[in-house]
Amino acid sequence: MHEWALAEGILATARQIAEQEHLCSVSEVTIRVGALQQVEPPILRFALKQMGDGILRGAKYRILKAKSTLKCRVCGTTWQYNQKKLDKATAEAIHFVPEVAHSYIKCPKCGSPDFEIASGRGIWLEDIKGVKTE
């Protein structure tokens, strides 16, 4: 369900950027989503289309995944986050509150839960295409 809240933030940011870029309509928004967010792209896309109004009405939403890289603060090991290695309850907990990942994920080398998210955390707009105001 957090996809709807994320869609609200994405749309607000897209509107702000469109205004700064003097766009009168937006045709495409490219969104990059970190794997740790565990966003369901079809749900997010549906929410964006349902809530996209004004200059965002009819825009196409491209949702791309970004791998999440974790780095152990104890031994320095770097590894890729892999949701498929988690049981369903753990994946669900991280889905709703990514910050709890430290309670469930451990370094594959030393077993420490003390790691940083080196990349692939969050959601960001990569590109917005549209028609400029004349």
User: What per-residue confidence (pLDDT) applies to 86?
Assistant: 82
CA dist., res. 108 & res. 48, Å (int): 37
Contacts of 20 (CB under 8 A, 6+ apart): none
User: What per-residue confidence (pLDDT) applies to 74?
Assistant: 97
Q: Which residues of the chain have pLDDT under 70?
A: 1
Helices (H) and strands (E) in the chain, counts: 4, 6
Spell out the domains of the chain, with CATH numbers in brackets: 2-132 (3.30.2320.80)
pLDDT digits (tens, 9 = 90+) for 90-111: 877 777 777 788 888 999 999 9
**Over 75-100, what HEC string results?**
CCCEEECCHHHCCHHHHHHHHHCHHH
User: What per-residue confidence (pLDDT) applies to 81?
Assistant: 86
